[in-house]
Amino acid sequence: MQASDGRRRDTVSVDLGQRTYDIHIGENLLREAGCLIAPLLNRPFTAIVTDENVARHHLKALEASLAAAGITSVAIILPSGEKTKSFAALADLCEQLLAAGVERRDKITAFGGGVIGDLTGFAAAILRRGIEFIQIPTTLLAQVDSSVGGKTGINSAHGKNLIGAFLQPIKVLADTSLLETLPRRELAAGYAEVAKYGLLGDLSFFEWLEANAGILLRGDAQARAYAIRQSCSAKAAIVAEDETEQGVRALLNLGHTFGHALESATGYSNRLLHGEGVAIGMVQAFRFSEHLKHCKPGTADRVAKHLKAAGLPTHMHDIEGPLPPIADLVAIMRQDKKAQGGKLAFILARAIGDAFIAKNIPDSAVADFLAEDLKRK
């Protein structure tokens, strides 16, 4: 599909019966946000939830687009960063939404990265016992992953994303032009989730990424749009099959059990971004798969080489500062949502593009593997 300015537009649907929604992908889509959102509203009003960085770069453009379509908006601007996925920030956001006069049938708009999307979605799930929300993701990570699929929530002292709800957005607008202001480190962090789709289930997409990651990361619009469309299509298919993660959706957690533990161990700080934790975790998942003889030696090296070339950390040694002892890392992993009856579960792989869920992994096997991995140069 082409917009009036000749630019390409793509649409991916997340097929969930009456709750089916579209993900629109394209350059300068923000200009069309008002027109795309207006038909969804009960009255011409929305509350925009964003963070200080996104507000500085892009809020005026969104407000103008909404105003041009006759939509009044109020903006709630939160501090940026993972610490905003907290109970304190959730309480503050809910109070601000109520103070702004948000009613039961209004829709709120999450305008930011995964932090803003996850927090705003959770606020929508509980405000006035549930209102609807729209996602306008502004990071690569949010455009390929967090804005799609309806997982919303906040972190706990016990671990990541442990408090939340499923609530699907009613529309996702992924404007690829917004990525132009994204810092290079954040772009690479988002790229880890793009690579994830190839690694978990699509060897040919991974091979395409091996050939095209360079131009994608340098800003090639077509390569970005293609990778975002492929990622969203892969996620949409999995979510349509298993919305609440009773089975296959767990594959989307490739690298996350290791990665979440490292994020928690580093205090959700700038030492390790979420996508960076996922990158290290995915390499560990492939090394663990080799260690358990599920996949051929050399596979993890290929994964690591690719992620490293994209500017990502690929080993615990790449994290600055001390990490807790292995036993503490394994204890953090026990909070992982895939754990059952106290036994850990991991997403492992038989090959690139062939991931599977491995249950009942003994703590000792994980600890042995981590000890071996720490000795690696």
Q: Which two tokens stand for residue 99?
A: 């103070």
For the question of residue 256 being annotated catalytic, the response is yes
Burial of 210 (0-12, 13-18, 19+ CB in 10 A): middle
CB 304 within 8 A of CB 359: no
Q: How far is the CB of 289 from ligand GLY (least distance, A)?
A: 19
Return the residue of 26, 34, 114, 277 that touches ligand NAD, per CB under 6 A: 114
Q: Which two tokens stand for residue 296?
A: 């051929």
Burial of 270 (0-12, 13-18, 19+ CB in 10 A): exposed
Q: Which stretch binds ligand GLY (CB under 6 A): 91-99, 226-234, 245-253, 284-292?
A: 245-253
CB 56 within 8 A of CB 117: no
With tokens 């996702």, the residue in question is 172
178 binds, among ligand NAD, ligand GLY, none (CB under 5 to 8 A by kind): ligand NAD
Site string for ligand GLY, 248-287 (x = CB under 6 A): -x--xx----------------------------------
Q: Is 201 in the site for ligand GLY (CB under 6 A)?
A: no
**From CA 120, how far away is CA 114, in angstroms rounded?**
10
Q: How far is the CB of 249 from ligand GLY (least distance, A)?
A: 5
**From CA 155, how far away is CA 263, in angstroms rounded?**
11
354-361 and 344-351 beta bridge pairing: antiparallel
- Give Cα separations from 77 to 27, 86, 93, 142 (angstroms): 24, 15, 9, 18
For the question of residue 305 being annotated catalytic, the response is no
Q: How far is the CB of 9 from ligand NAD (least distance, A)?
A: 19
For the question of residue 151 being annotated catalytic, the response is yes
Q: Is 112 in the site for ligand GLY (CB under 6 A)?
A: no
Contacting positions for ligand NAD (CB under 6 A): 51, 53-54, 57, 80-82, 85, 112-116, 118, 138-139, 141-142, 145-146, 149, 151, 160-161, 178, 181-182, 186, 189-190, 274-275
Residues assigned a catalytic role: 129, 151, 193, 235, 245, 249, 253, 256, 260, 274
Contacting positions for ligand GLY (CB under 6 A): 145, 149, 151, 249, 252-253
